[in-house]
Amino acid sequence: MPPPGAKPKPAGQAVTRHQQVHDWLEVEDIPHEGGPDLPENGVPGLACPWPKRVQDKWDAWRTMPHCRHWGPAEWDFALDSIGLAALYHLSGEQKFATELRNREKVLGTTLDFRRALRIKYIEPKQKADETPADVVQLDDYRAL
């Protein structure tokens, strides 16, 4: 499903020609590998292991590409949020759903939430030595 809203205009054709107040954070679309594991003692406040659905949710959250910019406070907030998700999935009470949705928005877990935070995933940049084999380097012929 395409994102809602009008497509952005090419550079120079935008209606607002002034400098934007808030820039976009461009993050290469490579999964983050440094996210912490869930605590081994299970759901905080409950004597039960983490539900499978919550474990899958945490694996998705901790590998989001923009997580590489998180510090200890953001990871602590994310761990608190996954505890709330576990309470919601275990109890099914709707009172946890609104708070969980608000926290997911702060974490930028969906495309809409990342757009609101002005986070944009971009294609990973190729290194100079990673050119495709069928492309000829013109620099090799410039000195001829």
Pick from 33, 10, 26, 32: which is nearest to 122 by CA?
26
- Residues 65-110: pLDDT tens digits? 999 999 999 999 999 999 999 999 998 889 899 999 999 999 999 9
| Between residues 105 and 47, the one the model is more confident about | 105
Q: What H or E segment, with its residue span, contains residue 27?
A: strand 25-28
pLDDT of residue 43: 83
pLDDT cut 70: percent of the chain above it: 87
Q: How many residues does the chain have?
A: 144
Is residue 75 helix, strand or coil? helix
Q: Spell out the domain ranges in the chain.
A: 47-124
Per-residue pLDDT band for 138 (boundaries 50, 70, 90) equals: confident
Distance CA 71, CA 21 (A): 24
How confident is the prediction for the chain on average, in pLDDT? 86
Residue 131: per-residue pLDDT: 56
- Confidence band (pLDDT; 50, 70, 90) for 24? confident
- Among 56, 57, 43, which Cα is nearest to 90's? 43
Q: What are phi and psi of 92, to 5 degrees?
A: 75, 10
